[in-house]
Amino acid sequence: MVPLVKLKSFEQFNCSLAQTLSVIGEHWTLLIIRDAFFGLTRFDQFHKSLGISRNVLTLRLKKLVEEGVLHKSEGPGHPEYRLSEKGLALQPILVAMTQWGEQHMPHSEGERIVFTDLQNGRRIRPVSICADDGRVLGPSDLRTQFGPGVWNGESAPRQPDTLTAVLSGVIGTGSDSSEH
Amino acid sequence: MVPLVKLKSFEQFNCSLAQTLSVIGEHWTLLIIRDAFFGLTRFDQFHKSLGISRNVLTLRLKKLVEEGVLHKSEGPGHPEYRLSEKGLALQPILVAMTQWGEQHMPHSEGERIVFTDLQNGRRIRPVSICADDGRVLGPSDLRTQFGPGVWNGESAPRQPDTLTAVLSGVIGTGSDSSEH
């Protein structure tokens, strides 16, 4: 059950995406979280839903509790696992991934899943990147800037200066590049 | 290099999230896509950025090309890998995951990364689930419904009827549950 080669860890990267992947990037973790959003709380429910080994499920649940994504109930009876605030905050990621799957890997018989607004029954919008005035932004509308957590980090994955240069040249189409 | 135990595949699940994970859920894949958004295009650039084995990187790039997330240039010189439309559509997922990491796994020295609107330099909004009129929806505002792709699917992970019941009881706080 122990992998032969220890996987290089995401945690070593001083990158917010890699940090997120260090918590939710293991096989099965996002499907466990999906099931928690669906209201499953008990080990046997997750086990039946996913069909993975009890060993792997135990490891994944333990990690999610340690990371504060799930709360584990203490007390008599079977323990229950429920999403914490930190876990509930993953919902936009899960919905965005589900919508991407619906759009780019559709089922031949039609939609598998539709998210609606409980208040009025209407479909929600596609999860998007929005400017502060609500405009939907595409890949060439976004600038990525580095803050003190990268500059003072011990293990930034590469030089931010280089990255910024690469970014402006390749996906930046705003004033920086159009003036040249 | 070959794992001892073949991992159970996500593809067998008739679930849009699992389908998405079957494309972007492998170790390193999302960091390769991150680097592609940052403008890296060549094998050696990805290799230097991530520090993973050439073998694993080769497998991941091959898969992303097969799945249509990356286009691989043919012709003389080093091949180049660029995001397709399908790959560019992953950006909200990556930004949402990065924002979650910033908020819930912060660096002690401050922010690592800030996304701004290229047009006016202002910070973007947190990636959120929005109703069709733009209201931000939380976990208890969302209903998940199943379409023909699930009902006719051969391997739905569980009975949608059960799921709907669980959903209304546990995370539904709208009219369905408040009337009882």
Which residues of chain B lie closer than 8 angstroms to A149, CB-CB? 106-113
Is pLDDT of B59 > 60?
A: yes
Least confident of A61-65, B127-131, B147-151: B147-151
Which residues of chain A lie closer than 8 angstroms to B122, CB-CB? 131-132
Which residues of chain A lie closer than 8 angstroms to B48, CB-CB? 158
Cβ of B144 and A113 within 8 Å?
Answer: yes
pLDDT band at A45, cuts 50/70/90? very high
Domains, chain B, ordered by start: 11-88 (1.10.10.10), 91-137 (no CATH)
Query: Which pLDDT does position A8 carry in this prediction?
Result: 58
Least confident of A23-32, A62-71, A159-168: A159-168
Number of Cβ pairs < 8 A linking chain A and chain B: 341
pLDDT band at A59, cuts 50/70/90? very high
Nearest CB partner across the interface for B130, out of A25, A88, A125: A125
Query: Which pLDDT does position B177 carry in this prediction?
Result: 33
Q: Which of residues 72-101 of A touch B (CB under 8 A)?
A: 83, 86, 88-101
Query: Which pLDDT does position A18 carry in this prediction?
Result: 92
Residue A98 and residue B93: Cα distance in Å, rounded? 10
Is pLDDT of B32 > 50?
A: yes
Over residues B67-123, the pLDDT tens digits come to 999 999 988 889 999 999 999 999 999 999 999 999 999 999 999 999 999 999 999
Asked whether B103 and B95 are in contact (CB, 8 A), the reply is no
Interface membership of B132 toward A (CB under 8 Å): yes
Share of chain B above pLDDT 70, in %: 79
